[in-house]
Amino acid sequence: MPAKYFELGNNQINAALIDVVTGLSRWRLWMSLAAEDIRLRFKRTYIGVLWTTLSFALFVGVKVVIFSPFTDADSAYFTNYVAIGYFAWMFITAMITDGCNVFINAEGWMKGARLPLTLFVNVSMMRSLVLTLFNFIVVVGLMAIYHVIPTWAALWSLVMFLLFVINGFSLHFILGILCARHRDVAHLVQAILRVMFFLTPIFWLPEQMGHLWRYLVYNPFAHFLISFRDPLLTGIIPWDSFVVVTSFTVGLPVLAFFLLAFARRRIIFWL
């Protein structure tokens, strides 16, 4: 029988730390729950999770067809540009939109048993990571078709992806808590994301936008996207974007942790 011991009403910083540690350590449970989630999403389909790959490929294809006449870049470059950029964008938006609902959707579980909040974040993260892996099939496929040979700099993209995961993990806490308390936040975030999709260089090249290029430095989404795409696509590491992403990777976890310490025992009353 699993031995348990807990105290209520003690140091909240400590309790938040315990939440994260126990949440991570129960990986058997969150892996199973994530698998169940994915199974549920594609239940009774013939190709299952490959639908993710298919819809991603379709979207990239249409974007390339429509937008390549507007650009003077060659089609091999532009196709991979869109594919890698949209891949990164999909992961970023998944982190944000899933983050908004992570605790709201877990209400049933949270009211049934004492479980660490981190557990639900892990379920959501795991699910997104698996689905994103299926999107990556398209990226790899297109790079192979167009003979885009990644250089050693591509490893940098891998590092950036790790930073994406850390930021996404933190965003789940931040947005999950804010959205549980103030339900307007989820709608606001949705609205912002819809706008940012067009303001982020996914299917257009910054160089062709003239003066708009200058304002791009204020768009954190652009920095995240560029810092992942450019090393993989061109082999060039964009250091200024890297600095921005790193700052987020330091700031967001700290913010997330203190928010968790504050909201951990309150959140159940907000659901």
Partner 1 sequence: MASIKLKSITLSYPILGGAKPKAAGRSVLSGAGSVIKDGANRTRSIVALEDISFDLRDGDRLGLIGRNGSGKSTLLRVIAGIYEPLEGQAQIEGAVAGLFSVGIGVHSETTGYRNIMLSGLMAGYSREQVTGMMPEIAEFCDLGEYLDMPVRMYSNGMAMRLKFACATAFDADIILMDEWLGAGDPSFQGKAQRRLRKMVDDAGILMLASHNHTVIRKSCNKLAWLDRGRLRAFGEVEEVLAYHDEATRPPAPPAKTARQIEKERDRAARIEADRERRRQEKRIELKREKRRQEKRKQIAEAKKMAADATHDADSTT
Residue 270 within binding range of partner 1, rule CB under 8 A: yes
Q: Which residue has the tokens 């999770």?
A: 49
In this complex, which beta carbon is closest to partner 1, that of residue 88 or of residue 110?
Answer: 110
Nearer CB in complex with partner 1: 114/211: 114
Among the candidate windows 49-57, 63-71, 110-118, 212-220, which touches partner 1 by CB under 8 A? 110-118
How far is residue 212's CA from residue 218's CA, in Å, rounded to a whole number? 11
C-beta of 30 vs 89, nearer to partner 1: 30
CA 124, 12, 182, 93 torsion-angle sign: negative
* Residue range at the interface with partner 1 (CB under 8 A); choices 57-65, 105-113, 189-197, 233-241: 105-113
Six-digit token string for 26 = 């129960």
Residue 224: closest CA among 201, 193, 255: 201
Q: Is 69 in the site for partner 1 (CB under 8 A)?
A: no
5 lies in the site for partner 1, by CB under 8 A? yes
Q: Which of 152, 218, 239, 269 binds partner 1 (CB under 8 A)?
A: 269
- Written as one string, the DSSP assignment of 73-105 is S-HHHHHHHHHHHHHHHHHHHHHHHHHHHTTTT
177 binds partner 1 (CB under 8 A): no
For position 108 contacting partner 1 by CB under 8 A, the verdict is: yes
| End-to-end CA, the chain | 31
φ, ψ of residue 73 in degrees (nearest 5): -70, 150
* Region binding partner 1 by CB under 8 A among candidate stretches 26-34, 121-129, 153-161, 165-173: 26-34
Nearer to partner 1, 4 or 211 (CB): 4
The H-or-E segment that residue 234 falls in is none
How many angstroms separate the CA atoms of 62 and 45, rounded?
Answer: 24
> Does 36 sit near partner 1 (CB under 8 A)?
yes
The contact set with partner 1 (CB under 8 A) reads 1-10, 26, 28-29, 32-33, 36, 39-40, 43, 108-115, 181, 264-266, 268-270
